[in-house]
A and B are shown apart, each in its own frame.
Chain A
């Protein structure tokens, strides 16, 4: 699905006044600090740069366009990307980011997420934002969550006049951005994000992290609880009657932090369990089916190994049955025909079973049957049987296409062919039965045949004719 990057969406930004410098460093290792032994071994989170080499690379980028760094990232790789681009150490950029976030009263955080959205990851030319644009559900969700947070903040703002508010408002934007990123980031980035939130997840228990997670959770909820109770006690006698509610909210938050992951885990476990059960049932069903049909057929094939015709016939029949079960969900023996494409497949089934000639079927589109289409099917069957009986071809191709205004069937073989003007009487009768039948139902049949090259019968029928049955409805499959 991924295309090779063809052209960067914007040309790389470069220092105009430092052309030689850039060229000099162009062929250098792109990540000089990676040469530092032990760099790779450090956990992602606290990778420290080699301070010595930091001075070497400061101030000149690698000349490539701005890209997020998929390898060296804490969240989205934006800081590392900017670092590589401008030639700073990622750590410097990260520290700058944190400082900026504090100085701008939290507005730096959504800015970071916006960067994550619009800067493509290295090795790609499309950003997450480009993808998110088409994700209408995601946009709705983002707006929903953001407005939810906004409402919450408004409420909290009414209830008390905390200065934390100032830092919280920008996070409305962050929430929206994060939602879009989460829904539209490529799989590997998502894996990275999961890795990032893993310590939070482990709060819910499971694995060796249980104790650490629980401890952390207790600490967080205790802090919130104390804060909440503090607000409750401190402000109850105060000016606003509503202020205690702020404290109440904090208490609720404490409970959610304490028990939330556990609830989530329960819900998820239930889901997993159900999936596992469904899978087990599916496997049992599959085993039974394989035993009933495939193994039986294989046994039959072994017994009739000296008769190639039978072997081919058995193999074809089995293949067809398996195919219709695997890809169309039809149980073997289910021969009820309700749609045109199924009718075509039935022709294939019957002709192969009766005449032993393989029929290659391609159907495009489908529609319900009506009396005209049934006639078309009958004519197509006639033509296919003819080809199987007379042409001597090793394979017959049966092509059916349902278009909005007409249905077309082509039956073709690469067999002996015949001279249209000197056909034997019995074959002429058959040709008439095809043609006559089509004409009676307002359709058209053409027969092309060349001696030694094969025959092609084309049947065309307009859709939505006289007794306007359900066939006129629409061409989409069920």
Chain B
């Protein structure tokens, strides 16, 4: 888990899962030497097979796949290999899709418009066990956890703390939503980068474990309006 900040580690092994051949070859060419792309897959079933065989450090996973969506891959792979980490990648930003992959267990989410350098950095972070939030995902999370839930919305979690963000987490998310990097967030809030990382990881955990009914309903609502 401490490999996150050490840049000296060998390039993470990455599997690309995306149904767009064009996008795959683009990413592969761009990432070039920064990561080691050990395989590509274009659908759920071949992806599961490939990941099981290669056991990469990080799977770069498109949220939208013809055979069932990215979350199906995560759910299936996690059964056998819980140690494989997933970074979700999407062009859509439909909140419900994003929330679905994150809740399935992805360690992060970035948009496809991300720059190559940022993508490589995100892959390294995920490989090191950190969470990676794009500014959009940060916005989603703030939105989903924002409103004080009406009584009918609350499904009691086993741990009520899962249902809300702390003030600090909110501050961190707010800055990430404004496009701050972790380092800039750390400087702005006078905390260390490690602390920022731990705040983001804890938000990710809440996002994955909260049984807050609102979260799902909120995502669905966003889609419909």
Chain A residues close to B by CB (< 8 Å): 1-4, 123, 134, 323, 326-329, 360, 362-365, 395, 397, 399, 401, 403-404, 410, 412, 414, 456, 475-478
Contacts and interface: CB of A to CB of B under 8 A. Distances in A.
A401 B174 contact: yes
23 contacts: A1-B100, A134-B156, A323-B93, A326-B94, A327-B92, A327-B222, A328-B225, A360-B135, A362-B135, A362-B139, A362-B177, A362-B178, A364-B177, A365-B146, A397-B135, A401-B142, A401-B146, A401-B174, A404-B148, A412-B179, A475-B147, A477-B221, A478-B225
Contacts of B105: 3
Given A2-B78, A326-B94, A327-B93, 17 more contacts: A1-B71, A1-B103, A3-B105, A4-B82, A323-B93, A362-B136, A362-B177, A362-B178, A363-B143, A365-B147, A399-B178, A401-B142, A403-B146, A410-B178, A414-B179, A476-B147, A477-B221
Nearest to B181: A414
B75 interface: yes
A398 to B, nearest CB: 9
Interface in B200-225: 208-209, 213, 221-225
A412 B139 contact: no
B158 to A, nearest CB: 10
A363 B177 CA distance: 9
Given A1-B103, A329-B225, A364 B143 contact: yes
9 closest A-B pairs by beta carbon, nearest first, are A362-B139, A397-B179, A362-B177, A399-B178, A364-B142, A364-B143, A134-B155, A1-B103, A397-B178
B75 A2 contact: yes
Contacts of A404: 148
Contacts of B213: 134
Contact of A3 (B138, B143, B209): B209
Nearest to B178: A399
Given A363-B139, A365-B146, A327 B78 contact: no
B104 interface: yes
Contacts of A414: 179
Nearest to A329: B225
Interface string B74-97: 010011001000000000111000
Interface string B130-149: 00000110110011001110
A134 B99 CA distance: 21
A395 B178 CA distance: 11
Nearest to A413: B179
Interface of B: 71, 75, 78-79, 82, 92-94, 100, 103-105, 135-136, 138-139, 142-143, 146-148, 155-156, 174, 177-180, 208-209, 213, 221-225
B105 to A, nearest CB: 8
Q: Which of B92, B100, B136, B178 has the most CB of A within 10 A?
A: B178
A363 B94 CA distance: 14
B179 A395 contact: yes
A401 B143 CA distance: 9
A200 B149 CA distance: 44
Contacts of B146: 364-365, 401, 403
Nearest to B141: A364
A417 to B, nearest CB: 14
Nearest to A477: B225
A399 B78 contact: no
B59 to A, nearest CB: 17
A328 to B, nearest CB: 7
A227 B180 CA distance: 78
B92 A326 contact: yes
Given A1-B103, A364-B142, A401-B174, A327 B223 contact: yes
A477 B221 CA distance: 9
A323 B90 CA distance: 13
Contacts of B209: 3
Nearest to B142: A364
Nearest to B223: A327
Contacts of B143: 363-365
A1 B178 contact: no
Contacts of B221: 477
B15 to A, nearest CB: 21
Nearest to A365: B146
Nearest to A476: B147
A217 B34 CA distance: 67
A114 to B, nearest CB: 23
B188 to A, nearest CB: 9
Contacts of A327: 92-94, 222-223
Nearest to A414: B179
A477 to B, nearest CB: 6
A346 B17 CA distance: 35
A478 B155 CA distance: 23
Contacts of B78: 2, 4
B177 to A, nearest CB: 4
